[in-house]
Amino acid sequence: MPDPLSALIDLVAEGGVAVLSGAGLSTESGIPDYRGPTGSARKFAPMTYQTFTRDTAARQRYWARSYVGWQVIGRAEPNAGHRAVAGLQSAGLVSAVLTQNVDGLHQAAGARDVIELHGSIDRVVCLDCGQTTGRAELDARLRAANPAFAALAAAVNPDGDADLDDASVDAFRPVDCARCRTGVLKPDVVFFGETVPAARVDRCFASVAGARLLLVLGSSLTVMSGRRFVLRAAKLGIPVAIVNQGPTRGDAYAAVKVDAPLGTALPALADALTLAQSGRSNEP
């Protein structure tokens, strides 16, 4: 009986793979996950959409923490796992990349047409006029508005939210929309209590339905946001493979489960398949 990695290589070799990635894929880029071995314990509850839109003090707290967290997220580089996914896509083996992450590292590694289920932290939208701008532009404006701000984060979460003390939060000055001057700015990500756009969910379901294999990378599948795609694959009779450190709530549906660091397992997977393709292309 083959070991799990060998079995995974055999499955992926047939192509038609839809990848579903979670926070565990980005831990080796210096971004901790929530529940895995590198997970950080939140001191504060995550921001909800309802609180963010209704409470000025809550927005100040969010932007102070996010401003510090962006210094980590914004500098993060794709790791070997991200590059392996991009390589498998370039080789024609991966047909779709769906991610629960908001860090943009799949695209930075070269992946194409990534469906960002929860949006992207590097974009900011005005809730009043609808203007969308890049996070780098907002970061420059926040730096100008807070020249003496030098808080250090106790921990940074995968969504870029950092744990700060109350004194640091109180000293921080947020900014409004640069276009309409008074509009509330929000990162272009799905907050707790906010609904993922239906069209985006439909694209994800269609990608899964059109795949031959659903490959889950670095997700505990604890929340339904990601687990629903595993359930849909199982319902459609599409095999599920999982690479994750530790148990997941999708293990019962997995045809193959590789419990290993993604930065080790995914390059090994990509290298084996690239070598196999090279061997076939050299056959007489």
Provide the residue type at 81 as one letter. G
Residue 31 marked ligand-binding: yes
CA distance 11 to 256: 9
Residue 75 marked ligand-binding: no
Residue 4 marked ligand-binding: no
Residue 41 marked ligand-binding: yes
Residue 40 marked ligand-binding: yes
Provide the residue type at 31 as one letter. I
Selecting among 65, 106, 118, 186, the annotated active-site residue is 118
Asked if 113 and 204 count as a contact pair (C-beta separation under 8 A), the reply is: no
Of 200, 238, 241, nearest to 114 by C-alpha is 200
CA distance 144 to 138: 10
Residue 57 CB-density burial (10 A; 0-12 exposed, 13-18 middle, 19+ buried): exposed
Residue 90 marked ligand-binding: no
Residue 103 marked ligand-binding: yes
Tokens at 206, concatenated = 């269609």
Residue 95 marked ligand-binding: no
118 is catalytic: yes
**Full DSSP string of 242-273:** EE-SS--TTGGGEEEEE-S-HHHHHHHHHHHH
CA distance 254 to 243: 10
Residue 139 marked ligand-binding: no
Residue 281 marked ligand-binding: no
Residue 29 marked ligand-binding: yes
Residue 253 marked ligand-binding: no
CA distance 238 to 251: 14
> Among all residues, which ones are annotated catalytic?
118
Annotated binding site for Zn(2+): 126, 129, 177, 180
> Known binding site: residues?
22-42, 100-103, 126, 129, 177, 180, 218-220, 244-246, 262
Q: Mark the binding-site residues for NAD(+), compressed into ranges.
A: 22-42, 100-103, 218-220, 244-246, 262
